[in-house]
Amino acid sequence: MSENIAENIAIGLVNTLKIAEESPHGLYLTDSIGERVLLPMRYVTEQMREGDLIDVFIYTDSEDRVVATTQRPLAMRGEFALMKVTDIAPFGAFVDWGLPKELLVPNKMQKNRLEIGKSYIVHVTYDFDTGRLYGDTRIGRHLLSDIKGLKSGDAADLLIVARTPLGYKVIANHNYEGMLYHNEIFQPLETGQHVKGYIKKIRPDGKLDLSLQPIGRAKTDVSVQKVRDRLAQNGGTLPFTYKSDAGAIQQQFGISKKAFKKALTTLLENGEIVLHDTAIEVKKQA
């Protein structure tokens, strides 16, 4: 939790606010300029005391009143998440975003008409004119092509968007379009899943080539640790060598054969393992 109280209450984001007073309906929270918002009684705990700072998410309830909650949505303002359609109305579709009041995706903000029971990648958008949060499935309009502050090797939060013939289309850091290629993926992936990834290359069009494995030396370090961990889990011996099948390596360690061979070389050079004809074994300490 932040130690600084929010200057202004911001809808669609987590705010650090001060508990100002109790009421029959809950707790009134204030920002640094005295603006108040209600935390309804169902979110109040015995540990909350007047004067305490608490982190709350701010949104509008079913009566369009600005309220606070200790719950967290699947995505906050400016973020994307996979959301399921729960209802259809003449003016739009409602999706479950993890809060009691469902999020409206107006018809004009739907790339294609949404269908009840299906799930879609949705961007949480704030309308400054109405003060309301909406969902938007027109993903491209919320992505940036001007890459600032990113470089090859940087870690990134990846949201899996869709499977394509080349690989998986992803959104990196809720701002950039990227691609994970099939031949570099060694674990199951699903639409809507969040995974940690790494930037391999920034393309001229502003899109990113990404990897689930660290780049360069860091990649070797991670692979080495995966081999160490599997050895420890299997009594110090595994039926793998430099000649082992790539598919078996991927299934056992979640890395490529190339990365596995580099890891073996590192472990051998460190004196950590012994290589036999059909297996590797943790080297016994003298």
Q: Hey, do 14-69 and 80-140 end up sharing a CATH topology, with the first three levels equal?
A: yes
What are the domain boundaries of the chain?
14-69, 80-140, 155-211, 217-282
Cα separation of 71 and 216, whole Å?
39
Q: Considering the domain delimited by 80-140, tell me its CATH architecture.
A: Beta Barrel (2.40)
**14-69 has which CATH code?**
2.40.50.140
Burial class (CB in 10 A: 0-12, 13-18, 19+), 62: exposed
Question: Could you read off the pLDDT tens digit of each residue along the chain, which spans 286 residues?
Answer: 556 766 789 999 999 999 999 999 999 999 989 899 999 999 999 999 999 999 999 999 888 889 999 999 999 999 999 999 999 999 999 999 999 899 999 999 999 999 999 999 999 999 999 889 999 999 999 999 888 788 888 999 999 999 999 999 999 999 999 999 998 887 899 999 999 999 999 998 889 999 988 776 666 688 888 899 999 999 899 999 999 999 899 889 988 898 899 999 989 988 889 999 999 999 876 5
**155-211 has which CATH code?**
2.40.50.140
Predicted model pTM: 0.78
User: With respect to CATH, is domain 217-282 assigned 1.10.10.10?
Assistant: yes
Q: How many CB atoms lie within 10 A of CB 161?
A: 19
